[in-house]
Structure 1
Amino acid sequence: MSFDAATQSPSTDTIAEARRQVEICNACRYCEGFCDAFPAMFAERVFGDGDIVQIANLCHNCRGCYYSCQYTEPHEFALNLPQALADVRVDSWDRYGRPGGLGALFQRHGVALSAALVAGIALLFLAQAMLTPANGEGFYAVLSHTVMVAIFLPAFLFPMVVLALGLRAYWRDVGGAPVRWVHLRRAALRAGQLKNLDGGQGQGCNFEKGDRYSQARRHAHQATFWGFLLCFASTSSGTLMHYLLGLEAPYGLLSLPKLLGVPGGLLLTLGAFGLAGLKLKADPQLGAQKAWGGEMAFVLLLGLTGLTGLILFAVSGTGAVPAMLALHLGAVLTLFLTTPYSKMAHAFYRFAALVRDAQQRQA
């Protein structure tokens, strides 16, 4: 498989180095049971650029292969497959993003950019609420429902369009075929179970403890994933209640939006800040070093979104609502707008890679 000549390919050096290492791994085959990247790798004899990008997006950076490898430095082969695949993966997300280059900018300056966007957007929301007081109850007494919809609907649709365009290009480059239900089912099961973070034998991965196994990253990732889905379901249920049933916010503690949103916010906050803590313990040389700041910014932004949502719920009915609402909306809007350029994109491309892998296993 090869990339469309009309589009710019990832760094030639990055692809070439990953190909060199993948070919050595393909000859050795010691790590066959570690994760889905290795069966996909061992099924090929010649690796085009699309094959390398597909393998890179199957990799979950658990790092088990690195600590089991006999060809890492000081061996002359100097293998560091987790880093090589991470570099390709990050380059591919930037390549598929529109407009190109924003992903690389976020990866280099993610923390500063996220902080500036959250603060700037929060100040704009706060100024708007102070200058044009809204009429309504709860949050709508600070910012009207119409204003929220007018701002957040385009902010949600924009990244979805960018990601859809990127996924279409990715699917073409990796040779994707028409998708069937069985492919989606297998991919969803492996994604939902985080099967590729179990070390192949269920003992966990080597992300933050070197050659010792740990389940901490898997647990933190699961908490973040399910927390995010619960928060999204909370917002969706509130939208349906508003438009279909005529039930407007604020909602009570035992309402569906709160029953989904409160545990979702707790899981999202604990999981995201847990991932940030694990990232501080992990060896940066086994990942995409140029993207470290962007990856940290992403998990901190997720944690901030969950935390500010919980605090906003806790201070309901007090004078702190306007400031906390502005901060929370700033975090949410920043998360949406940066989705195609932050590590949030990995959820979409990795799922696509798992679907393509399911197709190849059935071929």
Structure 2
Amino acid sequence: MSKHSNVSPELVQEGERIMRICNACRYCEGFCAVFPAMERRLTFEESDLNYLANLCHNCTECYYACQYAPPQEFELNFPKTLAEIRLETYRKYAWPGMFAELFHKNGLVTGVVTAASMIVVLAVILGSGGPASFLAAHSDVKGAFYAVMSHEAMVVTFGIVAVLIATAFAIGFVRFWKDTEGKAAPAVTPGAFVQALSDTLLLRYLDGAEDGCAYPDETPSNVRRRFHHATFYGFALCFAATAVGTVFHYVLGWEGPPPIPTVASLLGRPGAPQLELLRSLPVILGSLGGIGLLIGPAGLLWLKTRRNSLLVDHRQNGMDAGFLVLLFLASLTGFMLTALRETTFSGPVMVAHLGIVMGLFLTMPYGKFVHGIYRFGALLRNAVEKSTMPTLGSE
């Protein structure tokens, strides 16, 4: 075990014990990627456990199939142990390291940071436009919410945040990759990258054995996978909306996306429908993504209230709930801002929406979002290993 490790020796010892037993049994080898990856190893160092823990999608199928689970004397709780190790890896790879402890207080930190972010957004708005502009109604002709907070102020404020979180993610990923590469680190091939990307985008290992996760109880179901898809692609569509809007603004010179045109406004105007729909693409993408971010997080929160408490690392409850709640509120306030864009309510709603989005971004490197970063790294490592390392198990 590395002398610089943040994973407790007791937890590493328990992980090694479980892996030795599971590697001898191999009953669960067809459930997910973790067990074939485990079977490529005869010994388990801390770096191996960190990799396997992040490769686990917590489908919990193995717990219900395990003949050594409690109350059997071996008391194997594979999903919970890996969940506990995952949390410690988040702390270990965090940058800057002084923020690592935020993972243990993420629920509280999320609330405090979001409230502070709203104050920052309000200060920027008042500093750039003044109270009169903040409380006034602005038509689309006058720029709507861009008349409340200028595009330049928005770009500078969130650009700084984006650079900080991108740096934290990049350094965390590099730390994870170096820690888990082992003695012989084969190169990443294009095929391995495509395989890992496919596994990520399709959420392949949320399938469990074949009929979905044993989540929230022992009955297999794909409901968790569907809610994860809604959340994942909802976030991706919202990000795409921002990217497209940026291209429209800086490349095509289109100032801010107009509302989605109605059928009535398009009738009798040759050539107008295509152009107006194109200009409204950021709104269309954002609306579709917003729907996903209402359905997905709400569904995942509902499932968490019904899950088997024996399989839960309760230290992560605040982190999980805080992230999902922020995603849901970011979407809800986004729809409210679109609906109220030309009213006197647009200023206060903008403070709420942008404050929530900023709080979400600032806490991403120290909250639940990082599981996606390290899980992709683990899936990439798994794809590389499958083509270079022998296994006695079944893929």
> TM-score, normalization: structure 2?
0.87
Q: Does residue 53 of structure 1 match 2:61?
A: no
- Give the stretch that moved more between structures: 19-28 or 275-284: 275-284
> Is 1:96 aligned to residue 103 of structure 2?
no
2-structure distance, mates of 1:16, 1:160: 34
Query: CA–CA distance in 2 between the matches of 1:195 and 1:246?
Result: 41
Shift of residue 159 of structure 1?
1.3
SS at 1:322's partner residue?
helix
What are the residue-to-residue correspondences of 1:1-363 with 2, within 5 Å?
3=2, 5=3, 7-100=4-97, 102-105=99-102, 107-133=103-129, 137-175=143-181, 176-201=185-210, 203-208=211-216, 210-253=217-260, 254=277, 255-363=280-388
- Deviations 1:278-337, CA, capped at 9 Å, x for gaps: 111112331322111111111111111111111111112111111111111111111111
Q: CA deviation at 1:127?
A: 4.1
> How has the CA–CA distance of structure 1 residues 155 and 131 changed in structure 2, closer, same or farther, with 3 Å as cutoff?
closer
Cα drift, residue 200 of structure 1: 2.2
Q: Secondary structure at the match of 1:133?
A: helix
One-letter code of the match for 1:192?
Answer: L
Structure 2 distance, partners of 1:37, 1:265, is 33
Unmatched tracts of structure 1, length 5 or more: none
Letter in 2 for 1:178: A
User: Equivalent residue of 1:178, what SS?
Assistant: coil
Tell me the distance in 2 between the aligned counterparts of 1:8 and 1:212: 37
Paired amino acid for 1:116 = V
**Separation of aligned partners in 1, 2:13 and 2:338:** 51
Structure 2 distance, partners of 1:53, 1:127, is: 42
Task: Give the deviation of 1:44 after TM superposition.
Answer: 1.0
In structure 2, distance between residues paired with 1:177 and 1:315? 54
Amino acid corresponding to residue 214 of structure 2 in structure 1: N
Output the CA distance in 2 between the equivalents of 1:197 and 1:311: 33
Whole-Å separation in 2 of the counterparts to 1:180 and 1:120: 44
Which 4+ stretches in 1 moved above 4 angstroms? none
Q: Is the 8 A contact 2:294 2:328 kept in 1?
A: yes
Name the CA distance, whole Å, in 1 between partners of 2:112 and 2:366. Answer: 16
Q: Any idea what SS the aligned residue of 2:364 has? A: coil
Amino acid in the other structure paired with 2:250: Y
Which deviates the most, 348-357 or 136-145?
136-145
- Checking the alignment, whether the CA contact within 8 Å between 1:266 and 1:310 is kept in structure 2 is no
The alpha-carbon deviation at position 90 of structure 1 amounts to 0.9
CA distance in 1, matches of 2:370, 2:242: 21
Aligned length: 357
State the Cα distance separating 1:354 from its structure 2 match.
Answer: 0.3
CA distance in 2 between counterparts of 1:196 and 1:108 reads 27
TM, length-normalised to structure 1: 0.94
The 8 Å contact of residues 144 and 341 in structure 2, kept in 1 or not, is answered as yes
1:168 deviation in Å? 1.1
Residues 22-78 of structure 1: per-residue CA shift (max 9 Å, x gap): 111111101011110011011211111111111101101111100111111111110
Identical-residue share of aligned pairs (%): 39
Distance in 2 (alpha carbons) for counterparts of 1:124 and 1:189 = 39
The 2-side partners of 1:206 and 1:327 are apart by 37
Measure how far apart 1:101 and its partner are: 5.2
User: How far apart are 1:9 and its partner, in Å?
Assistant: 3.6
C-alpha separation in 1, matches of 2:254 and 2:6? 50
Structure 2 stretches of 5 or more lacking a match? 134-141, 261-276, 389-395
- CA offset digits 1:158-201 (Å, max 9, x no partner): 11111211111111111154322111110111111111111121
- The alpha carbon displacement at 1:276 in A equals 1.0
